[in-house]
Amino acid sequence: MEKMLRGVGVSHGVAIGEVRHMGTAVLEPSAEQVPGQDTEHVTARARQAVDAVAADLLARGQLAGGEAQAVLEAQALMAQDPELMADVARRVAGGSTAERAVYDAFGAYRELLAAAGDYLAGRVADLDDVRNRIVARLLGVPMPGVPDSDEPFVLVARDLAPADTALLDPALVLGFVTEEGGPTSHSAILARALGVPAVVALPGVGELAEGTVVAVDGSTGEVTVNPSAEQRAALARVAEERRAAVAASAGPGATADGHKVPLLANIGGPADVAAAVEAGAEGVGLFRTEFLFLDDSERAPSLETQTATYRQVLEAFPEGRVVVRVLDAGADKPLSFLTPGEEPNPALGVRGLRTLLDHPEVLDTQLKALAAAAEGLPVYLEVMAPMVADRADAKAFADACRAAGLRAKFGAMVEIPSAALRARSVLQEVEFLSLGTNDLAQYTFAADRQVGAVSRLQDPWQPALLDLVALSAEAAKAEGKSCGVCGEAAADPLLACVLTGLGVTSLSMSASAIPYVRSALAEHTLAQCERAAAAARAAESAEEARTAARAVLSGE
Ligand code: PEP
Ligand code: MG
């Protein structure tokens, strides 16, 4: 019997194939005690396994590059936490086997994390993944993870660990569907970076029998179970039409009547530049520099290291535009030497610009590195601060940029509703705005972006979010300044048209989404986009907004 399920589409394309489930079984080693064992030898065995897993994660990271690399490196660091290793040694001394000691030590740490608040709880999945890998190695059994198969398949999982998504083989994994995760979760961002169709936040999909045929539409979020032959043919046709339209699109972003909307790429470092250039990005709209800071848990990278990395990116876009975001540490991206450890609500605590204003030397070094990197290049450098709340924040950032001798445009990210509500005031201090719709949704709806259960509220089609986008864009227009979008909202082709209709002046997204957005814009005039935007804002829910905009844009 065919059946339709609906989750959140996070990465474009259609995949039709058999379901294979991710091996998530938790390996629980025997709790039997071994009195009188050679504790040194057993501890050394555990350490070797930990080191091997950390090395494996680092190697996967190197293969994957970019943002995936940073996530995997953070996992490797987690594996080698000295306190965890000390706990393992204590447990071995108490008579545990190496595998049981690792299992229990990670279990104790897991409980601490889970109890410590939402952002740490969000890292529990990463910790479990590391533990499973170490225990599997010690037991000599296959690693949990992507199933082995010679035939291409649709991967179904509760959630995907970064280590798995980073190395998904697009030739074998046709697409993936997860029960958890939201549209802005790191798994979703990585899926887009890979260009694999993906749907997240689909509870119950884990119950589909192995081998069931499903059709996954990563654009609409629809998963058809046991599609009929006609349905398969229709879906394949739609996918083919979309692919052809996308392949035919080229050149700068513009509506059908020539209203220009530069299409820029979101990148995590130099490794993402090639894909951005290949997709025809007109520059970089968001360079997430925090990935550079994850390498060392003790200190910021040196001025020289930062300068060299920034220069590599700037050189790739001669005469193009590169928007660099200064370090956005804290909340879901904690840095131990900067982020306070004891906050009850880290997402509402010292993060983003607040962290930098507390550590002006870190901000100053980063700004000086950017100034040095841009020296002598014809690039249009723009530098922006994350988590700007008000005019005082914007002024503090602009002052720091001037003090560092940076010749660039200074901007503010709009991620906090207060900045959107008082955008004109913020714009007295900076030259542009960039809407970070992932965090703007999180703070507008009080909905943690890492929690799948509230993904309904993380939907960027929510009319309240569209209102805040409109307010910001109108303020920028009144001030004669620009207002782009660099959150994941820009990667949805239909929503990109609506954002354009709301007055947004550029769109920045994962490179893989650029051709889709370019082709959608090219099919509609600015007036159509404006009508779609008005219809979406008049709606009462995200779903209605989407339907209303689609109706306007398809001329229904
Ligand atoms: C955002 O919040 O929309 C954004 C672009 O920043 P990040 O996803 O890195 O927090
Ligand atoms: Mg953000």
Q: Are residues 164 and 293 in the same domain?
A: no
Residue 466: predicted pLDDT: 98
Residue 66: predicted pLDDT: 74
Are 456 and 477 a contacting pair, CB within 8 Å? Answer: no
**DSSP H or E stretch at residue 323:** strand 321-325
The residue ranking higher by pLDDT, 232 or 71, is: 232
429 is in an annotated binding site: no
CA of 379 to the centre of ligand 1 (A): 24
Are 470 and 503 a contacting pair, CB within 8 Å? Answer: yes
Q: What average pLDDT score do residues 300-320 get?
A: 94
Q: Are residues 384 and 296 in the same domain?
A: yes
Q: Of 212, 229, 246, at which residue does a domain stop?
A: 229
Instruction: In whole angstroms, give the CA distance from residue 13 to residue 388.
Output: 35
Residue 556: predicted pLDDT: 62
Q: Which among 483, 486, 497, 529 is annotated as catalytic?
A: 486
Q: What average pLDDT score do residues 190-212 get?
A: 84
Instruction: In whole angstroms, give the CA distance from residue 186 to residue 192.
Output: 10
Q: Are residues 392 and 518 in the same domain?
A: yes
CA of 387 to the centre of ligand 2 (A): 7
Instruction: Give the ligand 1 atom nearest the CA of 436.
Output: 3
Q: Are residues 183 and 306 in the same domain?
A: no
Q: How many helices (H) and strands (E) does the chain have?
A: 23, 16
Comparing 44-53, 144-153, 303-312, 526-535, the range with the smallest average pLDDT is: 144-153
Q: Which amino acid is at 269?
A: G
Q: Are residues 45 and 105 in the same domain?
A: yes
Are 506 and 482 a contacting pair, CB within 8 Å? Answer: yes
As given in the structure block, the two tokens for residue 543 are 């779903």
Report if residue 47 sits inside a domain.
yes
* For residue 167, pLDDT beyond 70: no
Give how many domains the chain has, as a whole number. Answer: 3
Residue 312: predicted pLDDT: 95
Q: What's the Cα-to-Cα distance from 411 to each of 383, 394, 400, 427, rounded to whole Å?
A: 6, 8, 12, 8
**Phi/psi at 281 (nearest 5 deg)?**
-60, 140
* For residue 338, pLDDT beyond 60: yes
pLDDT confidence bin for 513, thresholds 50/70/90: confident
Residue 122: predicted pLDDT: 59
Comparing 14-18, 352-356, 382-386, 410-414, the range with the smallest average pLDDT is: 14-18
Q: Are residues 395 and 281 in the same domain?
A: yes
Q: Residue written as tokens 């709606």?
A: 539
* For residue 120, pLDDT beyond 90: no
Residue 136: predicted pLDDT: 83
pLDDT confidence bin for 184, thresholds 50/70/90: low
Residue 398: predicted pLDDT: 98
CA of 440 to the centre of ligand 1 (A): 8
Q: What average pLDDT score do residues 375-386 get?
A: 94
Q: Are residues 17 and 88 in the same domain?
A: no
Q: Are residues 124 and 153 in the same domain?
A: no
* For residue 348, pLDDT beyond 80: yes
Residue 400: predicted pLDDT: 98
For the chain, give the mean pLDDT.
Answer: 89
Q: Of 139, 170, 203, at which residue does a domain stop?
A: 139
Is position 259 annotated as part of the catalytic site?
no
Are 438 and 467 a contacting pair, CB within 8 Å? Answer: no
Instruction: Give the ligand 1 atom nearest the CA of 487.
Output: 3
Report if residue 479 sits inside a domain.
no
Residue 514: predicted pLDDT: 92
Residues with CB under 6 A from ligand 1: 286, 288, 328, 415, 436-439, 486-487
Q: Of 139, 172, 201, at which residue does a domain stop?
A: 139
Q: Is the dihedral of CA 86, 91, 93, 94 positive or negative?
A: positive
Report if residue 473 sits inside a domain.
no
Percent of the chain residues topping a pLDDT of 90? 52
CA triplet 142, 71, 286: central angle to 5 degrees?
A: 145
Q: Are residues 157 and 131 in the same domain?
A: no
Helices (H), 116-252: 118-121, 124-139, 162-166, 186-194, 229-248
Residue 116: predicted pLDDT: 67
Instruction: In whole angstroms, give the CA distance from residue 433 to residue 482.
Output: 6
Instruction: In whole angstroms, give the CA distance from residue 138 to residue 30.
Output: 12
Residue 219: predicted pLDDT: 81
Report if residue 461 sits inside a domain.
no
Comparing 167-171, 305-309, 322-326, 393-397, the range with the smallest average pLDDT is: 167-171
Report if residue 462 sits inside a domain.
no
Instruction: In whole angstroms, give the CA distance from residue 336 to residue 421.
Output: 33
Report if residue 34 sits inside a domain.
no
The pLDDT tens digits for 231-284 are 888 888 887 877 787 777 889 999 999 999 999 999 999 989 998 998 999 999
Q: Are residues 128 and 174 in the same domain?
A: no
| Top mutation candidate among 413, 443, 444, 510 for ligand 1, by most atoms within 8 Å of CB | 413
**DSSP secondary-structure letter at 143?**
P
Instruction: In whole angstroms, give the CA distance from residue 530 to residue 260.
Output: 14
Residue 165: predicted pLDDT: 66
Comparing 65-69, 75-79, 539-543, the range with the smallest average pLDDT is: 65-69
As given in the structure block, the two tokens for residue 350 are 């010292």
Q: Are residues 205 and 298 in the same domain?
A: no
Q: Are residues 68 and 188 in the same domain?
A: no
Helices (H), 249-302: 273-278, 290-293
Report if residue 32 sits inside a domain.
no
CA triplet 88, 89, 91: central angle to 5 degrees?
A: 65
Residue 206 belongs to domain spanning: 3-23+145-229
Which residues, including other chains, have CB under 8 Å from residue 241's CB and lie 6 or more apart?
A: none
Q: What CATH number is given to the structural domain containing 117?
A: 1.10.274.10
Residue 148: predicted pLDDT: 66
Residue 277: predicted pLDDT: 92
Q: What CATH number is given to the structural domain containing 524?
A: 3.20.20.60
Are 187 and 166 a contacting pair, CB within 8 Å? Answer: no
Report if residue 455 sits inside a domain.
no
